[in-house]
Structure 1
Amino acid sequence: MTEAVLGIDVGTSSVKVIAVNRNGEVIQTVSEPLKIIQHQSGFNEQCPNDWFEATQNCIKQLLKTHEMRHIDVKGLSLSGQMHSLVILDHAHQPIRDAILWNDTRSTIQCEQIKKELGEYVLSNPVLEGFTLTKLLWIKDNEPHNWEKIKVFLLPKDYVRFKLTGKINMEYSDASSTLLLNPKEKAWSKEIGGRFGLRDIYPDLVASHDFVGYVDTSIANDLGFNNDVAVFAGGGDNACGALGAGITQVDETLCSIGTSGVILACENSQDAVYKQNIHYFNHAMDQMSYVMGVTLAAGDSLHWLRNKVLSDLSFEQIIDLASQSPLGSRGLLFTPYLSGERTPHGDASIRGSFIGLSMLHNNSDIARSVIEGITFSLYESIKYLRESGKDIRHIVSIGGGAKSDFWLQLQADTFDAKISRLKYEEGPCMGAAILAVYGLGWYNNFEKIIQKFICYEKSFVPHQQYHQLYMKYFEVYEGVYRQTQPLTQRLLKLSEGSK
């Protein structure tokens, strides 16, 4: 029988499961969509049990496929959306729906942390997305729930707990909470104590650590025919980087999903970054990474499709965009539909079109959205380069990597060679690699990367286009400064009219 592992990604818009054999070949892929609960503007939640139910459904569907008939699943690992808060009571039941990474309700708690500890905590900016701010929001606004908390987890940790009955968190996800000391790889209970956190911390493990087997009753229900080893896994960005072969210093990833990420590997524990650049542990020992985040990257494209061009597919929208000239005939879009992280760290800024006229058509609107997303990501590249990172080659994954047009646009904007993977499974592949390493099929990550990762196509920048994009980018940078005070006034007016 052929042996395989499963890589599971607990995302924001869906759960995805892939089966991968010893040679890094993807045998089968299954996904199931997820719903986001939005009680009001800025509030984004999901039911934790929806993640587990979707995971179960995906595994069952996958194991029933023709391709999996003679496959022996030996192990699995998980990746998941980072920062999102799950709180469990003493019976290990969710106390409330999870507060997601893109939830922006905790501005007051951010200001409280900044007043106490400064703008940066444990090498990271204090932003609404991070887990500590959500815990403090619960403490301030839901004291009845606060008193019930036995332990807090992140999404993939909850799904792993449901599979194994074991509660823990690994370092890459823990480093995104504002509560993990990245140098000591230990919870900073001193920081937690400053804000009244009890001992609600899960035990810490490495991403490749074996944490248990799939519970027997669950394994039987899912259709596994033997013991399946479960390995801790990693945050989606760490796993996305690992699954793209981004494992060495200065190797760089561009990932466009719901959010957008520019990520570069780092092995210095003393590096200092500002401009709302994040600094987290990688899924591999002794390696970290820095990244900038665009909150609504792919989400901006989803908005365009759902609200403006609803009769078109994403592929048709990108094809439409390619029919507009560079610069979208003087139309600029800022992708601040959910606020922005890097470089502004502003939860209340909102998006805009600048330069719209009677001459503009749907092609120009579509291209301006794609260019605006790319300009936002370039801001992170610009700041990382100014901080000393040598960014010349970028591996692109996610929605933006499916289009030659958008990849060339990235190359011309970023002034870097852009490569697309032959097999692009994102964080799922990184999770699968962690299971492969945990099972001991290969004795180091380098050998796995060499076997599993290869490029399909690369795009080199055209300097004349890069120079043109930089002229538009200069205007783009000014849009935030000019619209920020106007947006504040608009938000106050709209809140007053409710």
Structure 2
Amino acid sequence: MSEDLLLGIDLGAGSLKSTVIAADGRIVGTASQNINTSVPRAGHSEQSPDIWWAAVLTTLRQLWDSGVDPAAIRAVSFTAGAHTQVLEDAKGTVLRPAIMWNDQRSGAEVDRARASDGDRILHLSGNRISATWTLPQLMWVRAHEPDIHSQIHRIRPAKDWLRRQLDGSDVTDNTDAWGLMLNDASGGGWSDALCAMAGLSAEVLPAIVGSTDVTGRVTKAAADATGLKVGTQVVCGTSDTNAETFSAGMTRPGIGALKLATAGTVSTLTADPVFSEDVIHYPHLVTGHCYAILGTNSCASAHRWLRDAMFPDLGFDGMDARAAEAPAGCEGLLFHPYLNGERSPYWDPDLRASFVGLGFAHGAPHICRSVYEGIAFTLRDCLDVLHARGMGFDTARLVGGGTKSALWRQIIADVTGLTIEVPEQGDASFGAALIAGIGAGVFADTEDAARLIHVRETLRPNSEAKAVYDAAFSRFRAVKEALTPANHDIVAATREATA
């Protein structure tokens, strides 16, 4: 291949994907590798960074074997989930498995921090403290693993740890800095006060650069390991949602994005962020803008749980086919997908999942469809918060692995009442490749790169189904409220039994 190619590598919660594109946006090659998550205790979620790097090497070998010429790669960039950090000692040794963004172990630390410093943390970091952020996770490490905490010499967000393997760089971008909840949202840079709450100095944190800045070039050692050419440009990168919403076409206010991945998210672009208790903000790739985002903890992960727990012989396609046999509303069956607590709008790590309304008339089709509908209801919960804040939208780009299901896509439109647009390419690895192109000068800026974003399908709500879902959503919320005390009692009893 004589043309310049761009490589984007995205670390997701369940897999790592590498995508190579040409300057006109054509997909030249893709490869992916599953990533295993360790759950040593209920509410814990960890991954080994070594597994991430092994997945990078595997996917690159797959790309080269498929005919992609590594010498044609002009630039490479990484993305990964926010809040997932690697702790290193003074020798650069990883101290423990990386605590994931969906980990809920720091609930007690969150409660104490909210009681003593909740308003101050919101003012400094721009976001409400919850168990998903790195700050309370570091508080947990200090309380429960003091020997490890005392050895922390450097904290690296996941994508920055991976990028360092290529170019030796010691930086992060502003979006991942916010994800650590150790940033100064108003003044820029790191916050000494927030670092002190974590029991650390800002000196353990990398420098902050632009997401599209070139951070270095592929070293000889990295080239030997990966097959990339020595000197290939390496671009900083950003969080997966930042890259994914951009690559889906959320490039101006008024367009939203819904994501059906391990977690589900609802996002929109804003030029004037208003920090609040219920909406999360991060800097966006589009200069001068933030993206406001709300998330539900269990989305495709709940779908995967259903397959593994109840329908291992059906697989995803079989479950999808069975779900299509049930009517909208599942004849009263409701599913609350709080398998790992919940983020927006409840911010409650002690919520738990439930099937409610089961009767003899219900079967496998109802159970499968109710999971699709329950997740759609949680996204509507998030969307209602944005509407209440004056940040609602009528059209949304739909991204994530869940978009493979035509049934689920239509359920999302019917439950939310939104016009749903499905982009041709809308995943984070494609976004990472665009970022690599901006950094390398293949594209002049984000606006120039956005020319490559196209819609392949448009879905509009079905009025009859929407009426059914409006009524079911009211019951969904009422059942959640009724079950919350019981969920809290169950979680408390389980903690006592396993303490």
TM-score interval (norm. to shorter): over 0.9
Give 1:440's aligned residue: 441
TM-superposed CA distance for 1:215, in Å, is: 1.4
- Superposed CA deviations along residues 168-227 of structure 1, whole A, max 9, x for unmatched, are 111111111221123333111122224432231111111001000111121133222452
Are 2:247 and 2:425, in contact at CA under 8 Å, matched by a contact in 1?
no
1:165/1:27 Cα in 2 relative to 1: closer, same or farther (>3 Å)? Answer: same
Note closer, same or farther for the CA distance 1:400–1:70 as it changes in structure 2 (3 Å cut). closer
> 1:128 maps to which residue?
131
CA contact (8 A) 1:3 1:74 kept: yes
2: distance between equivalents of 1:183 and 1:123? 8
CA shift, 1:65, in A, is 1.2
Q: Spell out the pairing of 1:252-401 with structure 2 (5 A cutoff).
A: 252-269=256-273, 271-275=274-278, 277-401=279-403
2:175 corresponds in structure 1 to 172
Give the CA RMSD over aligned residues: 1.5
Residues 18-57 of structure 1 show CA distances to partners (whole Å, capped at 9, x for unaligned) of 0010001111100111111111101111111111111122
Aligned to 2:93: 93
Corresponding position: 1:474 with 2:470: no
CA distance in 2, matches of 1:195, 1:172: 19
Contact 2:218/2:232 (<8 A) preserved: yes
Structure 1 CA distance, aligned partners of 2:92 and 2:115? 34
Task: Tell me if the contact between 2:281 and 2:292 (Cα under 8 Å) persists in the aligned partners.
Answer: yes
Shift of 1:315: 2.0
Q: Is the 8 A contact 1:8 1:17 kept in 2?
A: yes
Corresponding residue for 2:209? Answer: 205
Between 1:289-298 and 1:485-494, the stretch displaced more is 485-494
Amino acid at match of 1:2: E
Q: Structure 2: which amino acid aligns with 1:187?
A: W
* Alpha-carbon distance in 1 for matches of 2:198, 2:226: 42
Q: What displacement does 1:385 show? A: 0.9
- For structure 1, list consecutive stretches of 5 or more residues without a partner in the other structure: none
Q: For 2:179, what is the secondary structure of its paired residue?
A: coil
Give 2:365's aligned amino acid: S
Q: Distance in 2 between matches of 1:131 and 1:492?
A: 24
Distance 2:116 2:92 in 1: 32
Tell me the amino acid that sits aligned with residue 98 of structure 2. Answer: A
Report how many residues are paired: 493
**2:330 is paired with a residue of what secondary structure?**
coil
- Aligned to 1:124, the other structure's residue is in SS state coil
TM-score normalised to the size of structure 2? Answer: 0.96
Give percent identity, aligned residues only: 27
1:464 offset after TM fit, Å? 3.2
Give the superposition deviation at 1:70. Answer: 8.3
Amino acid at match of 1:341: R
Distance in 2 (CA, whole Å) between partners of 1:454 and 1:380 is 26
| Matches of 2:198 and 2:36, distance apart in 1 | 32
- CA 1:448–1:43: 2 relative to 1, 3 Å: same
Partner of 2:429: 428
- Retained in 1: the 8 A contact 2:76–2:235? yes
Which residue of the partner structure matches residue 77 of structure 1? Answer: 77
Give the direction of change, closer, same or farther, for the CA distance of 1:89–1:70 in structure 2 (3 Å limit).
Answer: closer
Q: Contact between 1:74 and 1:227, CA under 8 Å: does it hold in 2?
A: no
Please say if 1:43 is aligned against 2:44.
yes
Partner of 1:241: 245
1:474, CA displacement in angstroms? 0.4
CA deviations over 1:376-435 (Å, ceiling 9, x no partner): 0111111101111241101001123112221111111111110111234x1111111111
Distance 1:497 1:224, change over 3 A: closer
SS of equivalent to 2:204: coil
Q: CA deviation at 1:491?
A: 2.4
**Secondary structure at 2:397 match in 1:** strand
Q: Which residue among 414, 417, 431 is the counterpart of 1:415? A: 417
* CA shift digits 1:50-105 (9 cap, x unpaired): 11111122112212212x14860011001101101211111111111111111111
Given that residues 17 and 59 in structure 1 are in contact (C-alpha distance below 8 angstroms), is that contact kept between their aligned partners in structure 2? yes
Structure 1 residue aligned with 2:105: 105
**Structure-1 residue corresponding to 2:235:** 231
Q: Which amino acid aligns with 1:258?
A: T
SS of 1:180's equivalent in the other structure is: coil
Match of 1:196 in 2: 199
Cα distance in structure 2, aligned partners of 1:46 and 1:183: 32
**Counterparts in 2 of 1:497 and 1:274: CA distance versus 1, 3 Å:** closer
Aligned equivalents of 1:180 and 1:309: distance in 2? 44
Per-residue deviation, residues 256-280 of structure 1 (Å, max 9, x unmatched): 11100111111114x24433x2111
Divergent runs of 4+, >4 A? none
Stretch of structure 1 that moved more, 454-463 or 228-237? 454-463
What does residue 157 of structure 1 align with? 160
The one-letter code of the counterpart of 2:335 is F
SS of structure 2 residue aligned to 1:265: strand
Contact 2:218 2:229 in 1 (8 A): no
